[in-house]
Amino acid sequence: THNILLERIDLKLNLEIETTSTFQKVWKFPTYVGFKMGGCKATGTISWLEDGEEKSLDLSGVGTIWTTRLL
């Protein structure tokens, strides 16, 4: 066996994230504070080197987003 974390694997991640069905709320007192939450779809690929050969996997999934901001 070997530890892949100790090897150079040239890990690459290509990810596209699209938000879906989001909700946004902004409060104006005492300062502008807001948040946005909802779902997201993610697609892309992850690739790495293994024994000099590039391996690649397609990624596809759903998730949840939550962002907070101060204006």
Q: Given this model, what pLDDT does residue 29 score? A: 80
Q: What is the pLDDT of residue 52?
A: 84
**Residue for token pair 């946005």:** 36
- What is the average per-residue pLDDT within 67-71? 86
Distance CA 4, CA 71 (A): 44
pLDDT value for 3: 58
- The answer for residues whose C-beta is within 8 angstroms of residue 22's C-beta and 6 or more apart is 36, 37, 38, 39, 65
Q: In this predicted structure, what is the pLDDT of residue 49?
A: 87
pLDDT digits (tens, 9 = 90+) for 12-61: 899 999 999 999 999 888 888 999 999 999 999 999 888 889 999 999 99
